[in-house]
Amino acid sequence: MKSDRSTTPAVTGPFTLSPLPFAHTALAPIISARTLRFHHGKHHKGYVDKLNTLVLQRGIQDVSLVELIHSTQGQPGDRDVFNNAAQTWNHDFYWQSLTPPMGKSAQPKHGGELARLIDDSFGGIQALKTELVKAATAQFGSGWVWLVRDGTRLKVMKTSNAEVPFTAGHTPLLTVDVWEHAYYLDYQNQREQHVTAVVDQLLNWSFAAENLMRLQDFARTPASQPA
């Protein structure tokens, strides 16, 4: 699907803002074009720009986004680098976790490995969706809700602010952004209403299935690399 790059000018520095994998209008009315323009063109871009400023100031070179997240996680002096690197990665992953409603990726493939693991781990897709919404609603303040692979099982987890699941050994399959900037223009304070609609209609189950089948972990297969 055509991507609109009008809000994604080139930035100075090693990291680049990935284009949206769909048009700004593709997720409406669940997520409006206005929200996508702000979220991708202002918030996501802001993290990338700030990260580039920080790595240039500190002379950080030849490191992938995921390596940078691993090396700065939990380091008090590197908190700003971690936050902006992780938010850059999280948003790259979030856009790929979404797909236009009614598309071929909007349901788990019947009979596939992902569907089998969902049944084994949650008892079915509806129970998984309920758990994702429950976790999103329970997250206090800003953060992310994730479907992850944890060994041979799947589970739902939430992280605060910029935290990512893979530094704790969990392989992310899908995520939903529950920062207010993800929904406030369309839903104001109704996070549950927004997340319910996203989980019901916009999750990209093909992307989840691809992540499930990755042989490498995310430390070696970053979503974004330096240009």
Rounded least distance, CB 43 to Fe ion, Å:
5
What are 80's two structure tokens?
């700003």
Rounded least distance, CB 168 to Fe ion, Å:
21
Could you say whether residue 92 binds Fe ion (CB under 5 A)?
Answer: no
**Collapsing DSSP states into helix, strand and coil, what is residue 164?**
coil
Class of residue 20 by CB neighbours under 10 A (exposed 0-12, middle 13-18, buried 19+): buried
C-alpha dihedral (107, 220, 41, 13), degrees to nearest 10: -170
Q: Which of residues 124-183 bind Fe ion (CB under 5 A)?
A: 177, 179
What are 120's two structure tokens?
């084994």
Between 94 and 205, name the residue whose CB sits nearer to Fe ion: 94
Q: How far is CA 28 from the centre of its chain?
A: 19
How is residue 27 annotated by DSSP?
A: T
Between 89 and 166, name the residue whose CB sits nearer to Fe ion: 89
Between 52 and 175, name the residue whose CB sits nearer to Fe ion: 175
Rounded least distance, CB 177 to Fe ion, Å:
4
Q: Which of residues 176-215 bind Fe ion (CB under 5 A)?
A: 177, 179
Binding positions for Fe ion, rule: CB under 5 A: 177, 179
